[in-house]
């Protein structure tokens, strides 16, 4: 026994020392990576800004002492912030060292609204007289939408180019839940509140199909109009070609005038050489977007004392505090901080959220209302600002959105899952207990709801919906009855939302900042981004604490991971939700 304890103690000490040394080795490696990441970036004369948007695009880049590293795999996380992309294009417009932009686009992992903002930034860049040239071995509809702003659009002669129209597809979980013997008990308000349809139906309801076709059609029309303007065709022609499937490869795209030539990359290099005056194609000074962003970072102007706070609200809305989602405490604190800071003269609330907890949304909405009493507050919608995402914007002075933003969905619902049969029949588990009162175990997920409990939940849903209506009514200066008519959980495109009074103007985050400056009477100002991001050590610990099995599943499932995530979110739903019907991805 003594020997056993001796060996056990020695093993324990050995493991401790090994882990201790490993920790410092890890810190050293990250320090080295950080040092490499912070190396100065020089922009040569006659440079070409090369833009490849093949990585995940989020609302803002995570600033860290260390580069974007997944510390569980030690691989780089390929993520880029829209804020940095827009800032880089804006700076390149007036940078005498940048001769033009080369777009190398295939698949863009972002929604149409984010692509629209980048496209608008490129349109502004063209006003400088500098060139934009686009080339790809293949274009998706989304990448072509962005590429169409270029002066010249080229494609490989054997490249893919399929013009087919827009659509969405959503998963329905009813059959899967039935097989698992899981009953989702639904309480809702709003004939269009289709967030619960995947739980109880096998296909879209008539109302859901109506609203989905409406907003997808509206977004598609906006895309057609902008491409038509850029390429000298009509939106009707573009639509007709999609209906007839007349554009299905590079050659048919050239025939219809959507591209300017079928070429190989060497031909593109020859043209870039001519545009920049380089001695040879090897002498073309390419600078990638990520490197140009770092060059931008190292040459920032002196910070102005007067500030505009840009507060980012991205992800699901939940109660509590945290960094990976929109939390009632975290976002409220950021808004309060901006309100109380006398140097902050205006606030831009940048929203990219399909909603979540109704209570958390209401708490955040209150903070926005208080902020408007102190200074101008402009809400800027990204890809989606619906349900709870719209709720938190209702009290803003002005709401602006991209043409392709999805918004509205003024409605609420409640879900109480019943796992009794699943536990009994699938796992062989039974549950028993005692209660002092009949309803002491109200919302117990191991039994069905009683009639009285359903009545209470229905009243709660109605109360929350009426509160939502009132918030929209006050914020948008509309009668409650009018809000109810356009509410009922219906989802709208931003174009229709502007028509019915839910949105004031079209534009992106830069337009929101400009309007905020005008409202505050500012000519010179600096931007403060909130909430404050994690420090290096916090980011490291947060990354290490993320669930490893989720990463593994994500890697295995690839694009299908979103269906798994949706199923997980369904089973985690608790309380009354102000949530968009489903995760919308328009192709």
The pairing of strands 355-357 and 576-579 is: antiparallel
Q: What is the pLDDT of residue 324?
A: 74
In terms of average pLDDT, the best of 321-325, 344-348, 428-432 is: 344-348
148 or 549, higher pLDDT: 148
Task: Tell whether the model's pLDDT for residue 39 goes beyond 80.
Answer: no
Task: Tell whether the model's pLDDT for residue 472 goes beyond 90.
Answer: yes
In terms of average pLDDT, the best of 191-205, 259-273, 286-300, 541-555 is: 259-273
Mean pLDDT for the chain overall: 86
Average pLDDT over residues 183-198: 77
Distance in angstroms between the alpha carbons of the first and the last residue of the chain: 67
Selecting among 64, 99, 194, 387, the annotated active-site residue is 387
Q: Considering only 41-55, 122-136, 563-577, which range has the smallest mean pLDDT?
A: 563-577
From residue 517, how far is each of 250, 527, 531 by CA, in Å? 45, 11, 20
Q: What is the pLDDT of residue 413?
A: 86
Among this protein's residues, is 387 annotated catalytic? yes
Within 8 A by CB and 6+ apart from 132, the residues are: 100, 101, 102, 103, 122, 125, 126, 149, 150, 151
The SS3 of residue 68 is: coil
Task: Tell whether the model's pLDDT for residue 565 goes beyond 80.
Answer: no
> Rounded to two decimals, what is the model's pTM?
0.86
Angle between helices 358-372 and 451-476 (to 10 degrees): 20
Selecting among 193, 294, 345, 375, the annotated active-site residue is 193
Q: What is the pLDDT of residue 18?
A: 56
Q: Considering only 199-208, 514-523, 540-549, which range has the smallest mean pLDDT?
A: 540-549
571 or 422, higher pLDDT: 422
373 or 106, higher pLDDT: 373
**CATH 3.90.226.10 occupies which residues in the chain?**
47-163+247-297, 307-579
Q: What is the pLDDT of residue 30?
A: 53
User: In Å, how far from its chain's centre is CA 131?
Assistant: 30
Name the fold adopted by 307-579. Answer: 2-enoyl-CoA Hydratase; Chain A, domain 1 (3.90.226)
**What is the spatial distance between Cα 580 and Cα 196, in angstroms, rounded to a whole number?**
10
Task: Tell whether the model's pLDDT for residue 144 goes beyond 60.
Answer: yes
Closest CA to 203 of 169, 152, 233: 169
Which CATH number applies to 47-163+247-297?
3.90.226.10
From residue 142, how far is each of 111, 139, 227, 400 by CA, in Å? 8, 8, 11, 22
Tokens of 181: 């013997």
**What is the spatial distance between Cα 457 and Cα 449, in angstroms, rounded to a whole number?**
10
Q: Considering only 98-112, 157-171, 528-542, which range has the smallest mean pLDDT?
A: 528-542
Within 8 A by CB and 6+ apart from 60, the residues are: 81, 82, 83, 84, 312, 529
Q: What is the pLDDT of residue 434?
A: 93
Q: Considering only 208-222, 368-382, 562-576, which range has the smallest mean pLDDT?
A: 562-576
Q: What is the pLDDT of residue 72?
A: 47
- In which band, very low, low, confident or very high, does the pLDDT at 36 lie, cut at 50, 70 and 90? very low
- In which band, very low, low, confident or very high, does the pLDDT at 489 lie, cut at 50, 70 and 90? confident
Q: What is the pLDDT of residues 121-133, one digit of tens each?
A: 999 999 999 999 9
Average pLDDT over residues 500-515: 97
């Amino acid at each position: 026994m003594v020997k056993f304890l001796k060996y056990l103690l020695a093993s324990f000490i050995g493991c401790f020392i090994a882990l201790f040394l490993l920790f410092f080795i890890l810190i050293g490696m990250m320090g080295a990576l950080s040092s490499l990441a912070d190396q100065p970036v020089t922009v040569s004369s006659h440079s070409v800004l090369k833009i490849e948007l093949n990585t995940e695009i989020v609302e803002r880049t995570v600033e860290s002492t260390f580069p974007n590293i997944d510390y569980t795999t030690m691989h780089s996380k390929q993520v880029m912030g829209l804020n940095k992309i827009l800032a880089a294009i804006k700076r390149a417009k007036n940078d005498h060292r940048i001769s033009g932009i080369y777009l190398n686009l295939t698949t863009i992992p972002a929604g149409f609204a984010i692509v629209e903002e980048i496209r608008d930034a490129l349109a502004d860049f063209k006003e400088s007289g500098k060139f934009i040239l686009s080339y790809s071995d293949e274009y998706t509809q989304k990448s072509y939408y962005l590429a169409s702003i270029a002066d010249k659009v080229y494609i490989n002669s054997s490249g893919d180019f399929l013009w087919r129209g827009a659509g969405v597809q959503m998963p329905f979980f009813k059959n899967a839940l039935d097989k698992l013997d899981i009953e989702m008990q639904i309480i809702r308000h709003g004939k269009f509140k289709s967030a619960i349809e995947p739980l109880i139906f096998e296909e879209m309801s008539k109302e859901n199909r109506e609203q989905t076709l409406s907003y997808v059609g509206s977004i598609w029309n906006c895309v057609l109009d902008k491409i038509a303007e850029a390429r000298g065709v009509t939106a009707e022609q573009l639509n007709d070609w999609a209906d007839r499937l007349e554009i299905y490869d590079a050659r048919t795209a050239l025939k219809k005038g959507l591209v300017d030539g079928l070429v190989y990359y060497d031909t593109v290099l020859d043209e870039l050489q001519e545009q920049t005056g380089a001695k040879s194609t090897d002498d073309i000074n390419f600078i990638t977007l990520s490197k140009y962003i770092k060059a931008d970072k190292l040459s920032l102007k002196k910070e102005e004392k007067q500030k505009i706070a840009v507060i980012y609200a991205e992800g699901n809305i939940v109660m509590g505090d945290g960094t990976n989602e929109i939390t009632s405490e975290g976002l409220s604190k950021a808004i309060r901080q901006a309100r109380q800071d006398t140097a902050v003269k205006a606030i831009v609330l940048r929203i990219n959220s399909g909603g979540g907890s109704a209570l958390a949304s209401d708490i955040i909405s209150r903070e926005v209302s208080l902020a408007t009493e102190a200074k101008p507050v402009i809400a800027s919608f990204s890809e989606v600002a619906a349900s709870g995402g719209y709720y938190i914007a209702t009290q803003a002075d002005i709401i602006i959105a991209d043409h392709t933003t999805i918004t509205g969905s003024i409605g609420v619902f409640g879900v109480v899952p019943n796992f009794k049969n699943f536990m009994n029949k699938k796992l062989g588990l039974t549950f028993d207990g005692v209660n002092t009162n009949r309803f002491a175990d109200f919302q117990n997920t191991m039994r069905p709801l009683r009639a009285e409990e359903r009545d209470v939940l229905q009243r709660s849903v109605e109360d929350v919906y009426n509160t939502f209506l009132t918030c929209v009514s006050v914020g948008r200066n509309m009668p409650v009855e009018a809000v109810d008519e356009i509410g009922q959980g219906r989802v709208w495109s931003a174009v229709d939302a502007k028509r019915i009074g839910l949105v004031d103007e079209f534009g992106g985050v830069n337009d929101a900042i400009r309007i905020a400056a005008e409202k505050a009477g500012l000519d010179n100002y600096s931007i403060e981004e909130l909430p404050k991001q994690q420090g290096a050590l916090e980011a490291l610990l947060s990354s290490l604490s993320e669930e490893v099995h989720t990463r593994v599943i994500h890697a295995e499932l690839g694009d299908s991971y979103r269906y798994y995530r949706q199923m997980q979110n369904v089973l985690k739903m608790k309380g009354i939700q102000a949530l968009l019907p489903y995760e919308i991805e328009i192709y």
